[in-house]
Structure 1
Amino acid sequence: MTKRHDAAGGVSRREYLAATGLLGGSALAGCTTTTRQPAAVNVQPANVDEEPTSTPTRGYTAPPQEVDLAAQNDEVTLRTRHVRHAVHPEETMGGPIEFPLVWAFQADDREPSVPGPILRAREGAEVKVTLDNTEGHAPHTLHFHGSRKAWKDDGVPSTTGITVMPGEKHTYTIPANVPGTHLYHCHFQTHRHIDMGMYGVFRVDPKGYERPDREHFLTVKEWDSRLPRMMAGEDVEFDPRNRRPDVFTVNGKSAPRTLHPEDGSPIVVKQGDRVRLHLVNAGYMSHPMHLHNHRLTLVERDGGVIPEVARYQMDVTNVAPAQRHTVEFVADADPGIYPMHCHKVDHVMNGSFYPGGMLGGVVYEEAMDTDIFRELMEYAGAR
């Protein structure tokens, strides 16, 4: 029987904090994130193909939300937004880390996020995705992996002749005809626009899909922080031919913020749960993802189902750029807290501080009422 499933963490914030003892009568009002409020910035144009925003103040991104497309007539509008992005806002474990400017997608009236919203469809649907760039500052397009679509809907401006300019809208028809977990992203000046945050997950549930006890979407990415800083008007230079990643994220956050109950994406389980993880690589480097003390089975790659006869257990799966690996495991370990991280160990750092970066974790509910878990929550900013 399915117990709960979502993109962010599997339990509510109240359940999460109640288990740690951080939630009480006097603590309830203080259980907010410590993300700093937007500050005024003076933006000057950068010497690149696209000019940064002239808006003097910006809000912050929110965590990616799942959009059930079937519940809204298989239609969604993605707006382009210029916002700030708090990767790890605490002064702990190598923080704070913040991008002064990202280009985020906003689904309908939800909040903008990096990664963008998780667009979830059912096999056989015909999805209408409107890219609303009416308040944008640069040209954009949308390209969807994992869909056999009409030529004009491929989203590549140089081969389709379609570019959504600032002040314009365009609707793409995306058939949900390849079941599985996929990626979407802007395909205008792709080398910059993905690196500014314009990417997200496109999920197509096959007919008769049975959800597991727990299900999570985890998008990993490495960043060169010079690009968002340059686009925000700072006096730095970025060369895509000399890209030097220095920030490493899971769902847009670096550890320990990845374990935050609202802002992060902890994998919360109970003993015996069947867990399904959709790992998506939106970066430009391969990331070998390793889960401690559990055995993973790769069941799907880029929407292709792995035949049962070809499946085997492992604890590392190497996800190449733009690849999607769906893995499953049973929560049958000694109840505790177990890291899941990139095994390029320099990717598990915040600057020179270790551990941090591209590190999340499996948290057993049975282990949440422990001193070490409460300490981790303090580091993550869950007060």
Structure 2
Amino acid sequence: MRQKISNFKFQISNLKLFFCFLLTAYCLLFTVSIASAETKEFTLTVTDSEIELNGTKFMVWKYNDTFPGPEIRVKEGDVVKIKLRNKSSAKHGLFFHGLYVNPRVSIQEQEIFVDPDYEYTYGEFVAGPAGTHLYHCSWNMAEHLTRGLYGAFIVEAKDEPKSDKEFVYIISDWNSKAENGDDHYGTGHPRTMLDNDITTINERAVTGDNPIVMEAKKGERIRMRLANIGHLPHKIRFAQNFIITHEDGYPISQPKAQDSLTIYPGKRYDIVITAKKSGKEVFYHSIDMPPGVKEKLTASEDSQKASAAHTHDDSHGHSNNIHKENKTGVIKEAPIIVLDVRGGQ
């Protein structure tokens, strides 16, 4: 019996040594990989500013005096260090949308808010997963994202698929009535989000007569990174089929061809298009509200109109411009991007 116990203890001891060896080896490999990786440092400075969209002036905050914020682009495995410097009149935080930053940047650290005239450097983290991601303010996000505090965070894969050209587009939506004071709830209030009446793609307001032009040569393979930082579901429809290769940074297991895509808030997609023929082809944009949401908005709108009529005051009535366009099932589309293909390879 004594011999059996002794052998058992010996086996357990060997097992502990084995796992200790594995853990040590993993830590050494991780340390070596970090030491050999390239360190990329970025500073984001927040300032008060103003932009004009469709004739409405919006008070915004900017990262490094740009709207949207500057694109952060690194390679998978790079070590990333980011400093947030607050030169604005309000407090701000920083959230890394879709990135693996824990435990290097803890949840508590992402909840740190930087007061005016202060700065904070976040813990180093290894860039990943590869794909299209975002960074944005983490303080009062409903308003601060509505006021422009966001940017693209691109992590290039070690085996990045080859493309001849790449374009990054961030879509958002804004409420002119709330900013002008016509809606008493104010910009960023939940009651105004579904009533947003201006769509932007990067810094440009979508008006139907000013689409962004992507130039390419016949035969080129074009990669588009699309992200929705707004509050509404944005639908993109194209004249030809495209292939969705990634969703939220992850490869699609079975990519398939399609000609339209609805991008819900916070979602990111990578799509690939081949410039098959010379000429111009259009990407159309529309708001694709789910039927259930439309019905709830209709009930809410009718209730508010009745309340306003009862008080003989319609100044606080809340209407949904996008929803009104969709009540009959007709989706109003506007050109948002033009693919201009010339010549050949």
More strand as a share of residues: 2
1:73, distance to aligned residue in structure 2 (A)? 4.8
Larger radius of gyration between Structure 1 and Structure 2: 2
Q: From the superposition, tell whether residues 357 and 129 of structure 1 become closer, same or farther in structure 2 (CA, over 3 Å).
A: farther
Corresponding residue for residue 61 of structure 1: none
Corresponding residue for residue 78 of structure 1: 44
Corresponding residue for residue 323 of structure 1: 267
1:258 & 1:85 partners in 2: Cα distance? Answer: 20
1:126 aligns with 2:88: no
Residue from 347, 356, 364 that aligns with 2:341: 364
1:149 & 1:191 partners in 2: Cα distance? Answer: 23
Residue from 186, 189, 207 that aligns with 1:240: 189
1:277, distance to aligned residue in structure 2 (A)? 0.5
More helix as a share of residues: 2
How many pairs does the alignment contain?
A: 266
1:269, distance to aligned residue in structure 2 (A)? 1.5
2:66 & 2:334 partners in 1: Cα distance? Answer: 19
Corresponding residue for residue 140 of structure 1: 92
Matched letter for residue 277 of structure 1 = M
Matched letter for residue 162 of structure 1 = I
Q: From the superposition, tell whether residues 288 and 340 of structure 1 become closer, same or farther in structure 2 (CA, over 3 Å).
A: same
2:340 & 2:210 partners in 1: Cα distance? Answer: 9
Corresponding residue for residue 175 of structure 1: 126
Q: Return 5+ residue gaps in structure 1 as ranges.
A: 1-71, 88-95, 107-111, 348-353, 367-383
Task: Report if the CA contact (8 A) 2:233-2:288 is conserved.
Answer: no
1:223 aligns with 2:169: no
1:147, distance to aligned residue in structure 2 (A)? 1.9
1:115 & 1:179 partners in 2: Cα distance? Answer: 21
Residue from 176, 194, 216 that aligns with 1:269: 216
TM-score by length of structure 2 reads 0.68
Q: From the superposition, tell whether residues 291 and 336 of structure 1 become closer, same or farther in structure 2 (CA, over 3 Å).
A: same
Residue from 102, 107, 112 that aligns with 1:150: 102
Higher RCO structure (Cα 8 Å, ≥6 apart): 1
Matched letter for residue 216 of structure 1 = F
Corresponding residue for residue 38 of structure 1: none
Task: Report if the CA contact (8 A) 1:120-1:202 is conserved.
Answer: yes
Identity within the alignment, %: 25
Corresponding residue for residue 116 of structure 2: 166
Task: Report if the CA contact (8 A) 2:51-2:57 is conserved.
Answer: yes
TM-score by length of structure 1 reads 0.62
Matched letter for residue 153 of structure 1 = V
1:103 aligns with 2:50: no
SS state at 2:90 partner: coil
Corresponding residue for residue 284 of structure 1: 231
1:127 & 1:227 partners in 2: Cα distance? Answer: 38
Q: From the superposition, tell whether residues 168 and 258 of structure 1 become closer, same or farther in structure 2 (CA, over 3 Å).
A: farther
Q: From the superposition, tell whether residues 267 and 259 of structure 1 become closer, same or farther in structure 2 (CA, over 3 Å).
A: farther
Task: Report if the CA contact (8 A) 1:258-1:266 is conserved.
Answer: no
Matched letter for residue 223 of structure 1 = W
Task: Report if the CA contact (8 A) 1:220-1:252 is conserved.
Answer: no
2:336 & 2:115 partners in 1: Cα distance? Answer: 37
1:210, distance to aligned residue in structure 2 (A)? 4.3
Task: Report if the CA contact (8 A) 2:244-2:255 is conserved.
Answer: yes
Corresponding residue for residue 299 of structure 1: 245
2:136 & 2:236 partners in 1: Cα distance? Answer: 22
SS state at 1:191 partner: helix
1:254, distance to aligned residue in structure 2 (A)? 1.9
1:288, distance to aligned residue in structure 2 (A)? 1.7
Task: Report if the CA contact (8 A) 2:165-2:221 is conserved.
Answer: yes
1:209 & 1:81 partners in 2: Cα distance? Answer: 35
SS state at 1:336 partner: strand
1:105 & 1:193 partners in 2: Cα distance? Answer: 12
Corresponding residue for residue 22 of structure 1: none
Deviation sequence 1:129-188 (CA, Å, 0-9, x none) = 11000x22111111002222235735667xx65211111101123420211000111010
Matched letter for residue 132 of structure 2 = T
1:235, distance to aligned residue in structure 2 (A)? 9.4
Corresponding residue for residue 286 of structure 2: 342
Deviation sequence 1:94-145 (CA, Å, 0-9, x none) = xx43434211111xxxxx2222111001010111111000x22111111002
1:251 aligns with 2:202: yes
Q: Return 5+ residue gaps in structure 2 as ranges.
A: 1-37, 290-320, 323-330
